Amino acid sequence: MGVSSIDLVFIHDLSPDNGDINGRYDTLLKQAIEGAMPELSKMRDEGLIKGWGMGVNTLPPILAANEHADPNVHLAACQYTLMDHRESLQKLFPSCADIGATIVVGSPLNNGFLAGAERYNYGSTIPEGFKQKRSKMNEIAQRYGLDLHTAALQFCAAPDIVSSVIPGVRKPHQPAENVASMNVPIPADFWAEMKAENLIASDAPV
């Protein structure tokens, strides 16, 4: 690869939601705990990589890695967004804080749902009530002169334990829009109203 070390290595999609592993999640997780994880830690100690973690769409693999190994950073996709974040606040963030690991938030827009797409987390099934919740969020955002895309990205970046937010893109203009969204001032009253309406958790960092 022409480099002396690799910055980050993620164990990718070793997760119960991955249909390609055909129900072998428990077996493969045990293999990773006994094999891949200690080997990645050894590679980090030797300077071949700078850090490692899980890159998954669900919480259990990350919690298991934190319990059995010493990862540095996890790519948690679809786990901390405006639409769905309470379990991460209660379980994911404390687990990572205990071992000094950080979080890269993947799919902060729930695969485009928070930008207006009629899909959610890589599928066409949208959870019951989520369209109504998105509509209410949009109404509040518009009153403050914001778009929900901007609020969603800044929400994901707010927790101290989050080291990066990586929104995916489908069109050439979207990366520049994402950068611009991170520089938009958001009034504290917007977040206060979102919490007052129980649209986001009362203890969510903003």
pLDDT tens-digit readout, 67-112: 999 999 999 999 999 999 999 999 999 999 999 999 999 999 999 9
pLDDT tens-digit readout, 128-143: 999 999 999 999 999 9
Instruction: Judge if pTM exceeds 0.85.
Output: yes
Name the residue type at position 18. Answer: N
Buried b / exposed e over 9-28, threshold 16 CB at 10 Å, is: bbbebbbbebeeeeeebeeb
Percent of residues, the chain, with pLDDT higher than 90? 95
- 3-state DSSP call for residue 139? helix
Distances (CA, A) of 195 to 45, 77, 189, 200, 201: 43, 23, 10, 5, 6
Distances (CA, A) of 135 to 119, 131, 199: 15, 6, 11
Question: What span, in angstroms and rounded, lies between the C-alpha atoms of 30 and 64?
Answer: 10
pLDDT at 42 (0 to 100): 98
Percent of residues, the chain, with pLDDT higher than 70? 100
Question: What span, in angstroms and rounded, lies between the C-alpha atoms of 66 and 9?
Answer: 15
pLDDT at 123 (0 to 100): 87
Q: What is the mean pLDDT of the chain?
A: 96
pLDDT at 1 (0 to 100): 86
168: pLDDT confidence band, cut at 50, 70 and 90?
confident
On the 0-12 / 13-18 / 19+ scale of CB atoms within 10 A, 67 is exposed
pLDDT over 90 (residue 177): yes
Is residue 206 within 8 A of residue 191, CB to CB? The reply is yes
Q: Does domain 6-126+152-183 fall into CATH 3.20.20.100?
A: yes
On the 0-12 / 13-18 / 19+ scale of CB atoms within 10 A, 55 is buried
Q: Which two tokens stand for residue 16?
A: 């119960």
5: pLDDT confidence band, cut at 50, 70 and 90?
very high
pLDDT tens-digit readout, 103-112: 999 999 999 9
Domain boundaries, the chain: 6-126+152-183
41: pLDDT confidence band, cut at 50, 70 and 90?
very high
